[in-house]
Amino acid sequence: MLFLVFTINTTCIRFDKIYTGKIRDLDEIIKSGKLIAVTDNSSINYFIYRGEPMGFQYDMLQELANHLGVKIELIISRNLGEAMEILDKGECDLVAINLTVTNDRKKSMTFTRPIMQTRQVLVQRKPVNWQRLTSEELDEALIRNPIQLASQNAAVYVQKGSSYTRRMHNLAEEIGDSINIIDVPKDAETLINMVAEGKIDFTVCDENTAMISQSLHPNIDIATPVSFPQNLAWALNTKSVALLNITNDWLRNYTHTTDYAIMYDKYFHSLRTSSILNSDYNAFRTGRISEYDQIIRRYSKTSNWDWRLVASIIYQESRFDPHARSWAGAYGLMQLMPETANRFGADSEAAPAENIRAGMEMLVYLDQRYSKIIDNPSQRIKFILAAYNVGVGHVDDSQRLAAKNGKNPNIWDNNVEIYMKQSSNPLVYNDPVVEFGYCRGDLALNYVNEILERYQHYKNVANQK
């Protein structure tokens, strides 16, 4: 009954891996139906808020994938060296981490046209009494000229392998003095947090990132630039020529649209962004997906289910609203029908914990039923989810139709799902082997796919335990 069926490691979480080491270009991507991109889990690029994936890079990648007519598949990495290695090996199609375009990087990768411009800024901590200081007094207390970094022999911590490291070395050369530059394998946002907490005194990052972080940490100062404006872009393998061309054409058009302007403003200028970042349900900041995480963890652990998969089911059913009711009479977080709820000891007045417990018992029941005939966990979960959505009877009908037409009734992909999708067709639901009649099987397919896709996002941002 254990559904931990996807690869997980400490630095990189990926979906079903389809690469063999060959660099893919546009034709292969379209044929596979997937665009695979590396991005990072951060307060700007990609995060989960109230159960939904969000982020500037995530939204941009979704728009590009829609343009190409494919799905987006993410590899999450907060290590730039690892991201570049993944790209070089052909394990992804592009890196979407707003990389600074440099001549040195151009030797090993190709950049898209710029997505935006920014400059690098020094991040430093304001004095304890900063709120009582005038702007002039604050300027006197802080570094406002980068030359001061050398004169004070201040330690500047920067992300290893980043453009910030090169910029600080170039700055030292420009001022004709030495700067105490410390490379560490930590991302920019982690280093900013360390400045805010007093663990280090200085770091350097893009101004866009610093502006967002300042909304979380008002005690940091980001007003001292250390570079001229620089272009930020996505990186592709040098062999992906056709993908580069179509991506550039799309960027040229999309970045001048109203939709892009609204999206950019949402992440970089909107006051609502601050409330999202400070929310208890921003998984990047808190690791929480919903207010019911602990209850979901408790009952999932008892049943040997991954709690993040259960959380994805609950989001699909009720958007974490314990008062949700459907037109058909289902209610609660797990949208149990009255008969099902009664069977597992719950009712419409049950507290959220009881609704989750009853829903989990239903899932366990379905798992036990299908485990007798389906050994493959990744296939079995799709049968379970479909049955939870439309009922066992309709899934049985699709299995019988698959067997009748020479398909494997115990494999979902490209077998049973074919007949589930067709189950609203009179030619199909009037077949003699169909016992439960008409079914909106297309909705069931979407239900299965959306839950499993969201499950991957939840695994990207929340620990299993």
Catalytic residue set = 317
Give the 3-state secondary structure of residue 57.
helix
- The Cα 444–Cα 233 span in angstroms is 39
Q: Which of 231, 244, 300, 200 is nearest to 64 (CA)?
A: 244
Q: Mapping DSSP to helix (H, G, I), strand (E, B) and coil, where does residue 157 land?
A: strand
Question: Count of CB atoms within 10 A of residue 173's CB?
Answer: 11
**Rounded to an integer, what distance in angstroms lies between the CA atom of residue 297 and that of residue 301?**
6
Identify the CA nearest to 78 among candidates 92, 95, 63, 64: 95
**In angstroms, how far is CA 368 from the centroid of its own chain?**
31
Closest of 310, 350, 311, 312 to residue 330, by C-alpha: 350
Per-residue CA distances from 224 to 48, 134, 158 (Å): 31, 17, 16
Distance CA 398, CA 403 (A): 9
- Of 405, 344, 415, the closest CA to residue 374 belongs to 415
Supply φ then ψ for residue 370, to 5 degrees: -80, -20
- Helices and strands per DSSP (H, E), number in the chain: 22, 14
| Residue among 51, 52, 74, 50 at smallest CA distance from 62 | 74
Residue 155, helix vs strand vs coil: strand
- Tokens representing residue 412 in the block: 């979902």
Q: Report the distance separating Cα 401 and Cα 452, nearest Å.
A: 25
Q: How far is it, in rounded angstroms, from Cα 303 to Cα 286?
A: 25
Q: Are 157 and 191 in contact (CB under 8 A)?
A: yes
Give one DSSP letter per residue of 30-50, joined into a string.
Answer: HHHTEEEEEE--BTTTBEEET
Neighbours of 376 (CB within 10 A): 13
| Amino acid, single-letter form, for residue 369 | R
Count other C-beta atoms under 10 Å from residue 10's C-beta: 5
